[in-house]
Amino acid sequence: MVEQAPRARVEGRPSVLLFSAGFYGTLAAARCFGRNGIDVTVADPTKLGPASWSRYVGRRVQCPPESRAEEFIAWLLDFGRREPRQHVLYPTSDELAWLVSVHRDALSEFFHLYDPGVDAVYGLLNKRKLFEVGQEVGLRLPRTWFPESEADLSAVAKEAGFPVLIKPTTQILYSTHRKGHPVSEPAQLIEEYRAFSRDGYADMLVRFDPAVTRPMVQEFHPEAAQGIYSLSGFMDETGEVFEVRGAMKVLQRPRRLGVGVCFESAPVRADLAEGLKRLCRRLRYHGVFEVEFIQTKDDFLLIDFNPRYYGQMAFDIARGLPLPLLAYHAAVGDRDALLREVKAAREWRGRGEAFCNRISLEMLLNLQRLSGALPGDEARQWRRWMEEHRGILVDPLIDSDDLVPTAVEVAQILYFTARHPRAFVRAMVLNR
């Protein structure tokens, strides 16, 4: 990809405060802001997140982890009091999206926010609420149950088509951040549900919504391993600005329920985009989003809505949609700048770009090939895929203009492998 030359810093503009330095979305945002002349501060509990070491980050500060919610919010408010109205704050994680919306009134005194409110944010991050509102606005979703007792579970075991997935109601302040657990037989459902329910949530969230502790059950669609279609983009508070990009997740790790490794550009389906508009308007949501659908033989089923920065955001920035800038201009109230960026995004013409986390893909191919978990034909297929997209491949880490984050990530992987060899083998070799 051709790198954009950094613009000169513009005096008088607020800086941005980014969190979650280990997330690829944070790194993508830092690079986008830095290349557009906006100062970047990264706050993180450690000094080891790749985003902290981007050349576009001018300042690093240490903060409590978001999992210690009360302590984190106290730190954030103290930071804001010391530097009032000097930073734009936009969420990089589910936790931060919810915490900012819950404490919006207090935070807005010290930060520039573009927050739609807790009803909108929690309505999208809580899968029970997303299921209800999604159906109301005419979107299709997988068959899903929200049992409140073991009698309900027995009814689910009789009614559902197996396998099913037991999934957390939300990832906000969730102790394990497991995406889900597959259950293959009806007789296993109650026992597996009990075990899954032992994963807990932070007290702050349970006080906000006691029902969050009950997991959901959803029919499993095997197409999810290779058929995840996503729409990502931005909508403003008027609903007049709505710009999206489409993509197919063609490889994830682990295969059944995992993080995207490879994506391909895909056309924007007008019916799904219109459904998302209705969903956002129904909840009064505005801001950055990334939404996932399972593509089945007959339909597209909504499974996830991320109202925040997200892992493959560098892909959409490279495809002419600078989402961090759109959120920034909206937060500071510069509508002229927002509309200029949107106009440029609508005029952009792509070349069939694809996205690939090459470090993860190489690890998958080499380790699974050695272990026999990956057939030789499939390994060769992915190497051909990389070769076919040479020159138009977007990587979340590797950037010739910003090399240190890649070195930091590799060091982190080596450290994790040494400390947790079994977890590494499960994720990278056994594909679980």
The residue from 219, 250, 280 where one domain ends is 219
Q: Are residues 186 and 265 in the same domain?
A: no
Q: Is residue 130 in some structural domain?
A: no
Q: List, for the chain, all residue ranges whose pLDDT scores fall below the cut of 70.
A: 1-11, 255-257, 423-432
The amino acid present at 143, given as its one-letter code, is: R
Q: Are residues 349 and 363 in the same domain?
A: no
What pLDDT does 3 receive?
Answer: 44
Q: Are residues 203 and 329 in the same domain?
A: no
Q: Structurally, how many domains does the chain consist of?
A: 4
Q: What is the CATH number of the domain that holds 306?
A: 3.30.470.20
Q: Is residue 8 in some structural domain?
A: no
Q: What are the pLDDT digits (tens) for 235-263?
A: 999 999 999 999 999 998 876 667 889 99
Q: Are residues 280 and 365 in the same domain?
A: no
Residue ranges with strand state E in 214-350: 216-219, 228-235, 242-253, 259-266, 287-295, 300-306
Q: Are residues 244 and 302 in the same domain?
A: yes
Q: What is the CATH number of the domain that holds 92?
A: 3.40.50.720
The residue from 178, 200, 219 where one domain ends is 219
**Nearest-angstrom CA–CA distance, 18 and 55:** 14
Q: Are residues 227 and 302 in the same domain?
A: yes
Q: Are residues 340 and 366 in the same domain?
A: no
Q: Is residue 30 in some structural domain?
A: yes
**Is the dihedral angle over the CA atoms 150, 155, 156, 158 positive or is it negative?**
positive
Q: Are residues 345 and 228 in the same domain?
A: yes
What pLDDT does 369 receive?
Answer: 75
Percent of the chain with pLDDT over 70: 94
Q: Are residues 298 and 336 in the same domain?
A: yes
Asked if 397 and 50 count as a contact pair (C-beta separation under 8 A), the reply is: yes
* Average pLDDT, rounded, for the chain: 93
The residue from 219, 234, 262 where one domain ends is 219
User: What strands, in cross-sheet order, belong to the sheet with 144-145?
Assistant: 144-145, 216-219, 164-167, 181-183
**Nearest-angstrom CA–CA distance, 36 and 30:** 10
Q: Is residue 147 in some structural domain?
A: yes
Can you give the length of the chain in residues? Answer: 432
What pLDDT does 312 receive?
Answer: 97
**Nearest-angstrom CA–CA distance, 134 and 164:** 20
Q: Is residue 124 in some structural domain?
A: no
Q: Which domain holds residue 284?
A: 222-356
Q: Are residues 279 and 185 in the same domain?
A: no
Q: Is residue 10 in some structural domain?
A: no
Give the H or E element holding residue 141: none
Q: Are residues 255 and 369 in the same domain?
A: no
What pLDDT does 47 receive?
Answer: 86
Q: What is the CATH number of the domain that holds 152?
A: 3.30.1490
Q: Are residues 318 and 237 in the same domain?
A: yes
Q: Is residue 131 in some structural domain?
A: no
Q: Is residue 128 in some structural domain?
A: no
Up-side HSE of residue 344: CA atoms within 13 Å toward CB? 14
